[in-house]
Amino acid sequence: MSIAARQVSDFASGTTPSARHDLSQLLVTGPFPDALRAAIRASRLSLDRIQHRLALRGVTISVATLSYWQSGRRRPERPESLEALRQLEAVLALPPMALSALLGPPRPRGRRSHASRLLPIDALWSRREHLAGLLAKVDTSSDGQLGRISQQDRCEIGPDRGQRSLRVRQVLRAEDDGPDRWILVYDSEAPGCLPELTGLRNCRLGRTTTDDDRRILVAELLFDQPLARGDTLIMEYELVNPGPPYPRGGDVYCRKFRLPAREYVVEVRFSPEALPARCQQFSTLIGEDERSRRRNLALDASGGVHAVALGFGPGVFGIGWEWRDQRTSA
């Protein structure tokens, strides 16, 4: 039994053994409405009491919405609804992401529904024609079967203002039986400066391919075994650039999301010897103008900034920065 299932079983000790088993199983297999309904039943709290406890946590939500969620008529998709779901997991004494992980990709709606379902892997890249040729050399069939639950990127900038490394941690969920790999795409601003792929956890390197000037890297990261529907996977890897000097990538780091991510955290750490004058997070959803949404970020005590996105994509999300001499010359 997983840690999550044990925690739920301990919490639900006042319920019948069959009810505890049902809840533990549903938190692994879903679907979301059934798991939520079982968790509410195990908590022995009425929807009114749950609403009250959520209000104490600063979450305003109607009893009708909670009822819709557990019946399957609606599900949380907007950022504020996803945050309410996080608090609901705490109220129901569930492990973090126990219910969120069961949501899968958002349902298509409005004008972007077609793009959300059919967006090609290469759609968001500026050098699309180069990338398409590289993707044809690897197996991309698993990509659309993997739900993006959590994505965490940590970018390290060296004292020469170049990108030293990128550390990545992902939590993926199989939406169907069979996905067995993740397709990594990395695009460098500097020709011939592709990083070394290292620090792999819960995956191993498969086929790799690059373009003629070695600016784009495409790699298969193979799982230890194919995932069954509902399985989750924590995967980590690191991209380390040779140097110094380190390649300078336009003073920006961003991630392109073909499919929506429930949670995305991007962190950029700067060397104490080279701190930027200004940092901004930016995001662009499909159909919007470039970097249409911006927000200033303040450096923390250790010389870094971070930004968080919930329920984001398809689109581009990242952080850009300016140096003091750039602002003076401007």
In the chain, the number of structural domains is 2
- Please give the pLDDT value at position 116: 41
CB atoms within 10 A of CB 81: 19
**Same-domain status, 191 and 58:** no
- Please give the pLDDT value at position 59: 87
**Same-domain status, 76 and 138:** no
Gap between the Cα atoms of 93 and 53, Å rounded: 12
**Same-domain status, 154 and 252:** yes
**314 contacts 287 by C-beta, under 8 angstroms:** no
What tokens were used for 274? 């080279």
- Please give the pLDDT value at position 107: 55
111: in domain = no
> Tens digits of per-residue pLDDT, 31-77?
888 889 999 999 999 988 999 999 888 888 888 889 889 888 888 88
153: in domain = yes
**Same-domain status, 276 and 245:** yes
| Residue 179 preceded by cis peptide, ω within 30 | no
Q: What is the CATH number of the domain that holds 191?
A: 2.60.40
H or E stretch at 261: strand 261-270
> Tens digits of per-residue pLDDT, 180-190?
999 999 988 76
- In the three-class reduction of DSSP (H, G, I as helix; E, B as strand; rest coil), residue 97 is classed as coil
Gap between the Cα atoms of 185 and 187, Å rounded: 7
Low-confidence ranges of the chain (pLDDT < 70): 1-21, 104-118, 190-192, 287-292, 326-330
**Same-domain status, 232 and 259:** yes
- Please give the pLDDT value at position 228: 93
Single residue among 49, 78, 102 that ends a domain in this structure: 102
- Rounded to the nearest 5°, which phi and psi values hold at 65? -65, -45
Residue type for position 61? I
Structural domain of residue 38, as residue ranges?
3-102
- Render 288-303 in DSSP notation, one character per residue: SPTT-EEEEE---TTS
User: Does the global pTM surpass 0.85?
Assistant: no
- In the three-class reduction of DSSP (H, G, I as helix; E, B as strand; rest coil), residue 320 is classed as strand
Phi-psi region of 253 (alpha: psi -120 to 50; beta: other; left: phi over 0): beta
Three-state SS for 178-232 is CCCEEEEEEECCCCCCCCEEEEEECCEEEEEEECCCCCEEEEEEECCCCCCCCCE
- Please give the pLDDT value at position 319: 96
